[in-house]
Structure 1
Amino acid sequence: MSVLQLQAALLTHGFDPGPLDGALGPRTRAAIRAFQTAAGLQPDGVAGPLTLGALGLATDEPLWLAEARRLEGLTERPGKSSNPAILDWAERLDLNYASDDVPWCGLFVGHCIAAALPDEPLPQGLLSARTWMKFGRVSEPGLGAVLVFWRGSRAGWRGHVGFCVGADVEAFHVLGGNQGDRVCVARLSKGRLLGARWPLSGGEPPSRAVAFTGLAGTPLSRNEA
């Protein structure tokens, strides 16, 4: 289920989400709250399972993952310029972030979570990938879970963070930012996983890991910065 499908369903039910642009912006969240109020649901602006069910939508994918998929293909800009979309994420999160030369995997995850769950507490220092080990609650590495990996060495400070979209015997399939300087899906070795996390306001975390072999055999990602 995509944000665009959510917007279309809201419009069908008589609640204007603004432009049908696939972005989970303020007008779409306001339409969600209005629909929830009319449907006798808690008007929190979060399209959880009850809200989606009332709209006649069913999905296994959380909305933060839909936002991540919408951004797939976005890239850094070479040289001294920066992609304004990446800088806008930082501005919306009130972060001091001057250039997309600074690793932005944590910024990408923070943007997607905040867009879908505006009241979800984000970790302090979210630009540091390993800080995401303090986010939300422990989860299985299921669809949409935030996966945190080490880079360089397990005992070091460098890391990477992204969303789980699949797995094979050897690796997790991670939809993340700053993977080859862009938003894409990459295979990261299971041996590098530090942990999986799930938003506190994201409903029940998955009870089992995902299994998907569509990327099996493609090279492993070695260094995501």
Structure 2
Amino acid sequence: MMSPMLCARHGGRPFTVAAKRIGDRIRERGRFEPGELVQVSLDRPKRSYVVWMTRADLDEHAVTADYVDGVAHVTELRKFALLDRACEHVCPDCLDELLVRSGEQPHSPTPVSRAFDTAIIADNATVDGPLVRCNIHGIAVGSRTSPAMAALIDQRDAVPHGRLINVVVTSPKAENKFFWFDEAFLLRVLGPDIDLSTGIYRMESGDRSRHLLRCGISVCKHCLRDWLQRNGIA
């Protein structure tokens, strides 16, 4: 397992490794025919690990393997790098769903209904912290904005009713964070004395910035970006 990463269907998951051909089929919500998939054990001298690959991967690299209980054990040192390059990070839940669709045994219990479900977000998804549910992009990192802007983004083709301000929250200990709010919202939350004349408002990370973000709501960052681009703003 790898460090936690974001899966648009399942949320935060500790990613695992599988063949790129499998990753492609996962993204298609497809399946493999019986016999196409094989578990491969890369038996290095000091460390071995098992990954799901396709027989086409083994054939492509002319891999000779010893099969024990259905697992292909590879010991030829010069093949390890080739097979490593044929793999990529995948969500373990997505992999289990593919295995069920392909008639293989999943690593974790996976209902058939979930494996064949075509919903953009799975019923066992984890959506917490900065993550939001999006009907278009699945589970995504959210960005705070004003309720009025969020409503316009939901309408997709709507145009802004007033000036939009790029808010930059600065911090000496972390990267700057960027947000978009409408001018009326900022004046209401932060007071009428703030200078928004340049269209960019900088503020230090602290109580005021946290108050502003608490007053806003989260939207999918991809939807926000697309909406801004459609309106020629960013």
Q: TM-score, normalised by structure 1?
A: 0.23
The structure with the greater share of residues assigned to strand is 2
Q: Which has the larger radius of gyration?
A: 2
